[in-house]
Amino acid sequence: MIAHAVPEGFVSLPRSSPLLDLLGPAYCRGEGLQLEIGLRADNRHANGRGTVHGGVLATLADIGMGYAMAFSSEPPLPLITASMTVDYLGAVQVGEWITVRLEHHKRGRQMAFATVGLRVGEKVVARANAVFAVPQSDRQ
């Protein structure tokens, strides 16, 4: 695989998980509700047709929504994904840079809602909507 530059302003995502370690390296820029997640697609992310697998895009969408919403408050909210839908609008090629950006959000006491767009350049390749459960503390 040819090494590609990471776009300006993106740094290594400071938070990881075993799944992100397999998928990544993932990058980010901004913080809170302006957080963007970035990933350079490589051969590990490809499906049988040679384009990025929809499961990779769904995972990035879930991470992008969850991290932006969770880290928009102090201390961060431990959100739990309750449901998510993804609309695939275009194919992503190996070697392309994928960016995940929060488009809409709303948080209540028990539920949070979010929408993200996944882009390659200016082209929206997927859009995802999710509902998150906001765990209640024991001190109610």
Quick one: CA dihedral 14, 111, 57, 103, positive or negative?
Answer: negative
Query: What's the DSSP call for residue 62?
Result: H
Q: Which two three-digit tokens encode residue 54?
A: 């929809």
Q: What confidence score (pLDDT) does residue 136 get?
A: 80
Contact 41, 98 (CB under 8 A): yes
Please give the structure tokens belonging to residue 102.
């929060």
Instruction: Give the residue from 105, 110, 114, 96 showing the smallest Cα distance to 41.
Output: 96
**Proportion of the chain in helix, strand, coil states, percent, rounded to 5:** 20, 40, 40
Specify whether domain 9-131 bears CATH 3.10.110.10. no
According to the model, what pLDDT value does residue 139 have? Answer: 41
Locate 90 and state its tokens.
């275009």
Mean pLDDT of each 10-residue bin along the chain, 140 residues long = 75 86 91 92 93 96 90 82 96 96 88 95 96 74
pTM value > 0.85: yes
Number of Cβ atoms within 10 Å of the Cβ of 74:
7
Separation of first and last alpha carbons in the chain: 53
**What is the model's pLDDT at position 14?**
85
| pLDDT at residue number 3 | 52
pLDDT of the residue at 1? 40
